[in-house]
């Protein structure tokens, strides 16, 4: 009996050792395979999907990044514009691509916002995409026409005496600007009239023409017209003043909460892409974005280069998804 038990234990021990050796061998093989994939990446052109039309800041950033990144990799980075449905069409292309790191997405916070505004989103941004890293942050400027009061507290006081009479223009229903303004109006205790536009230029035109009271604009556009006195910047989103308009306070400074999170521009790829490739892309992108010429070019657009690596950026995207998801549900903002 003892002999049989001893043999069984020896057999189990041998089996355990064999299994361990097998697992170690498999792990070693996987590690070698991952190392090989990274050392060979990229071996062909890489596609960078921009889910917005050509010409905007996101498109300019993509092309400013793609050229030096392609030179670093010695493989072309092909920028492909796939606009529509708040960025969801382009994002869906990447979410459904082969998970090999050859299809990248340059996204804004709308990536985690828009799915809450449609009945059947075609993908889950945090499940179907993998964060590579943040590239830049941006801010919006709440701006008044030349006939409005010159400070935000004065505008709020006026708005409280005229419910739904003070109008504000944004880039459209469900855009980041619209969401920020919903949060601001609630924090201010004011009822404002939303006027959605298709793009920034018509907002600026109607502000200058005193067709609307307020508008959400980029720092670059506001600086151009504020010099003439035709527009008056009131406050900026984010947790710091924008270098383009250093005298304009943040909403947070003025006591309005919930608008201190800066909007990010960042890279994602398809979920399931090997993590070593994700890390390589992130490190190479960080190298490219550190170049002085790119930093200056982004500054000229009102963007601040502020990079982060995959884990940190994934945490930011997750927090934004939770925060803006609650805002969208609370105010029942829909695109369908």
Residue 193: strand pairing partners: 167
Condensed to tens digits (0 to 9), the pLDDT of residues 126-142 reads 999 999 999 999 999 99
Counted domains in the chain = 2
CATH number at residue 199: 3.40.190.10
The reply to whether 291 falls in a domain is yes
CA–CA distance, 195 with 166 (Å, rounded to integer): 10
| pLDDT tops 50 at residue 3 | no
**What's the domain range around 324?**
44-137+262-330
CA–CA distance, 295 with 243 (Å, rounded to integer): 13
No. of helices (H) and no. of strands (E), the chain: 12, 11
Q: Are residues 73 and 55 in the same domain?
A: yes
The reply to whether 306 falls in a domain is yes
CATH number at residue 76: 3.40.190.150
Look at residue 6 in the predicted model and tell me its pLDDT.
40
Q: Are residues 60 and 122 in the same domain?
A: yes
The reply to whether 97 falls in a domain is yes
The reply to whether 26 falls in a domain is no
Look at residue 45 in the predicted model and tell me its pLDDT.
98
Please tell me which residue, 26 or 243, carries the higher pLDDT value. 243
Q: Phi and psi for 235 in degrees, rounded to 5?
A: -165, 155
Q: Are residues 133 and 266 in the same domain?
A: yes
| pLDDT tops 50 at residue 4 | no
Edge-first strand listing for the sheet containing 103-107: 77-81, 46-50, 103-107, 263-270, 129-138, 304-305
Condensed to tens digits (0 to 9), the pLDDT of residues 262-277 reads 899 999 999 999 999 9
| pLDDT tops 60 at residue 28 | no
The reply to whether 22 falls in a domain is no
| 52: exposed, middle or buried (Cβ count in 10 Å: 0-12, 13-18, 19+) | buried
The reply to whether 248 falls in a domain is no
Q: Are residues 196 and 222 in the same domain?
A: yes
């Amino acid at each position: 009996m003892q002999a049989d038990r001893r043999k069984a234990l020896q057999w189990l021990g041998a089996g355990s050792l064999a299994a361990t050796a097998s697992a170690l061998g498999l792990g070693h093989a996987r590690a070698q395979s991952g190392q090989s994939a990274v050392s060979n990446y990229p071996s062909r052109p890489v596609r960078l999907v921009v889910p917005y039309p050509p010409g905007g800041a996101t498109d300019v950033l993509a092309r400013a990044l793609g050229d030096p990144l392609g030179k670093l990799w010695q493989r072309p980075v092909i920028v492909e514009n796939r606009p529509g449905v708040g960025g969801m069409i382009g994002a869906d292309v990447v979410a459904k691509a082969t998970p090999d790191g050859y299809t990248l997405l340059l996204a804004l916070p709308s990536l985690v916002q828009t799915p809450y505004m449609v009945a059947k989103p075609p993908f889950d941004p945090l499940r179907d995409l993998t964060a590579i890293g943040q590239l830049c942050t941006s801010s919006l400027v709440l701006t008044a026409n030349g006939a409005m009061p010159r400070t935000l507290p004065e505008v709020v006081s006026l708005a409280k005496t005229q419910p739904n009479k003070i109008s504000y223009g944004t880039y459209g229903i469900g855009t980041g600007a619209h969401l920020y303004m919903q949060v601001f109006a609630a924090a201010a205790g004011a009822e404002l009239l939303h006027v959605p536009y298709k793009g920034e230029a018509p907002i600026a035109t109607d502000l200058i023409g005193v067709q609307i009271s307020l508008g959400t604009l980029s720092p670059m556009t506001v600086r151009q017209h504020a010099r003439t006195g035709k527009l008056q910047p009131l406050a900026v989103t984010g947790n710091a003043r924008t270098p383009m308009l250093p005298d304009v306070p943040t909403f947070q400074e003025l006591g309005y909460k919930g608008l201190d999170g800066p909007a990010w521009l960042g890279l994602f790829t398809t979920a399931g892409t090997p993590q070593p490739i994700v890390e390589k892309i992130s490190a190479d992108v960080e190298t490219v974005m550190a170049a002085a010429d790119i930093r200056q070019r982004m500054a000229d657009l009102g963007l601040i280069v502020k990079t982060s690596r995959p884990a940190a950026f994934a945490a930011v995207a997750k927090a934004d998804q939770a925060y803006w998801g609650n805002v969208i549900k609370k105010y029942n903002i829909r695109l369908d």
